[in-house]
């Protein structure tokens, strides 16, 4: 069963938040991108952290019968891209996020208000 892209964005953002990812931002790029409707950009502390976040996103979405079309960077963990078709997730280590500045590249995209439940206890202190 395919999820609505907004539900997918919120689900993925919640997973990132629960895994202690930070600086979570979603952009609506419909009409300005031919490859996706939404970009979700976030950070992890170090390579092991971003890899852990990415694997948890993949596992959580697989439970909802959503699998990425393509995954890039899972081996190195510095910049991981999870392509779910209409939603593309970019997970960075902080220095690389600044270097590539996707927010500036897609500055015509509108910021999406995400529904992240911050009252949930963040899971997995084990990376």
> What CATH number did the domain enclosing 23 receive?
3.30.460.10
* Contact (Cβ atoms closer than 8 angstroms) between residue 10 and residue 112: no
pTM value is: 0.89
Total tally of structural domains belonging to the chain: 1
Residue 114 to residue 67: CA distance in whole angstroms: 21
For residue 90, is it within any domain? yes
Res. 126: pLDDT tops 70:
no
The residues facing 82 across adjacent strands are 71, 89
Task: Report CA dihedral (92, 93, 95, 97) to the nearest 10 degrees.
Answer: 10
Q: 3-state DSSP call for residue 29? A: coil
What band does 108 get if pLDDT is binned at 50, 70 and 90? confident
Predicted pLDDT of residue 97: 87
118 found inside a domain: no
Look at residue 105 in the predicted model and tell me its pLDDT: 83
Q: What share of the chain is helix, strand, coil (3-state, %, to 5)?
A: 35, 25, 45
Across 76-97, average pLDDT: 94
């Amino acid at each position: 069963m395919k999820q609505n892209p907004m539900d997918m964005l919120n689900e993925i953002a919640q997973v990132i938040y629960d895994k202690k990812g930070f600086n979570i931002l979603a952009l609506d790029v419909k009409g300005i991108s031919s490859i996706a409707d939404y970009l979700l950009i976030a950070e992890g502390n170090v390579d092991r952290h971003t890899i852990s976040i990415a694997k948890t996103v993949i596992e959580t979405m697989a439970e909802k019968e959503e699998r990425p079309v393509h995954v890039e960077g899972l081996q190195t963990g510095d910049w991981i891209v999870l392509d779910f078709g209409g939603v593309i997730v970019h997970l960075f280590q902080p220095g690389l996020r600044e270097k590539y500045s996707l927010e500036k590249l897609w500055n015509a995209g509108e910021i999406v208000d995400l529904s992240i439940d911050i009252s949930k206890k963040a899971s997995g202190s084990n990376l």
